[in-house]
């Protein structure tokens, strides 16, 4: 069982916006601004898309944005493109003994 | 260009040991914490272990605590994972990853290797 809860799948049409949620507790998502999001295409290593809740690394399109409210973080992708189809994972620092880092179970994004 | 290259994976019998290595280049290795993350076939990401820049802070997932040992050699720009008493459920692709922020022990991972596959089976 994953420490952070994500929907198993989401879908959207090209040009639309979608949001992926990531629910934790006050010991992880709610307690710290160390939420990050990763994109993973089949057979590839994960790619960092968002760190510290809402920061985008250099090179990540501004169509990707992150936010947090209470114990739930969200990744929003606007103007969906075919190449956005991938698995997305959230992650957070946790203070609940170990592990120090927890991942969500992952969300499969399908672009219709 | 930042590069992380894992090695040392392979097929191993249950109960045996394996040592993974991660060779880093393209950044000042001893400024950054490093982590191991694994992914079982067809499954999600699982954090395994992390080590701060100076080895002063080390953490393990409960699933590997007492069996795995993380270490680093800053002189060789290398990260290691000693895996003992391996189990079938340790079968996974093991990635090494670099944290985003200089000095942080944890946080987001901005660079990942391509992974090394560990298969535990008799």
CB contact under 8 A, A93 and B107: yes
Q: What is the pLDDT of residue B107?
A: 85
CA triplet B12, B18, B21: central angle to 5 degrees? 130
User: What sign has the CA pseudo-torsion B11, B13, B14, B17?
Assistant: negative
Q: What is the pLDDT of residue A1?
A: 47
Which whole-number Å values give the CA distances from B42 to A42, A50, B37, in the listed order? 10, 24, 15
Tens of pLDDT, residue by residue over B47-67, are 999 999 999 999 999 999 999
Q: What is the pLDDT of residue A97?
A: 67
pLDDT band at B102 (very low <50, low <70, confident <90, very high): confident
* B89 token code pair: 């459920």
CB contact under 8 A, A48 and B61: no
B27 touches chain A (CB under 8 A): no
Closest partner residue to A102 (CB to CB) among B47, B60, B65 is: B47
> Are B55 and B62 spatial neighbours (Cβ–Cβ below 8 Å)?
no
List of chain B residues whose C-beta atoms are within 8 Å of the C-beta of residue A59: none
- Please provide residue B107's backbone torsions phi and psi, each rounded to the nearest 5 degrees: 110, -165
> Are B92 and B41 spatial neighbours (Cβ–Cβ below 8 Å)?
yes
pLDDT per residue as tens, chain A (112 positions): 458 999 999 999 999 999 999 999 999 999 999 999 999 999 999 999 999 999 999 999 999 999 999 999 999 999 999 999 999 999 999 987 666 899 999 999 999 9
């Amino acid at each position: 069982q994953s420490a952070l809860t994500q929907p198993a799948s989401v879908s959207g049409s090209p040009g639309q916006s979608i949001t992926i949620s990531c629910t934790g507790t006050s010991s992880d998502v709610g307690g710290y601004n160390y939420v990050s999001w990763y994109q993973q295409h089949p057979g590839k290593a994960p790619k960092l898309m968002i760190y510290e809740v809402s920061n985008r690394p250099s090179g990540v399109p501004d169509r990707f944005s992150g936010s947090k409210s209470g114990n739930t973080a969200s990744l929003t992708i606007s103007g969906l493109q075919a190449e956005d189809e991938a698995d997305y994972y959230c992650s957070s620092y946790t203070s609940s003994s170990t592990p120090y880092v927890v991942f969500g179970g992952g969300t499969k994004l399908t672009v219709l | 260009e930042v590069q992380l290259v894992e090695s040392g994976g392979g097929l191993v019998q249950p109960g045996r040991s394996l040592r993974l290595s991660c060779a880093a280049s393209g950044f000042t290795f001893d400024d950054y914490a490093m982590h191991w993350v694994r992914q079982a076939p067809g499954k999600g990401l699982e954090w395994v272990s992390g080590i701060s820049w100076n080895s002063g802070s080390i953490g393990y997932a409960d699933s590997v605590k007492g069996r795995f040992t993380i270490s680093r050699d800053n002189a060789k720009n290398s990260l290691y994972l000693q895996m003992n008493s391996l189990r079938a459920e340790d079968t996974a692709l093991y990635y090494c990853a670099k944290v985003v922020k200089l000095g942080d022990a944890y946080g987001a991972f901005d660079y990942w290797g391509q992974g090394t596959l560990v298969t535990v089976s008799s």
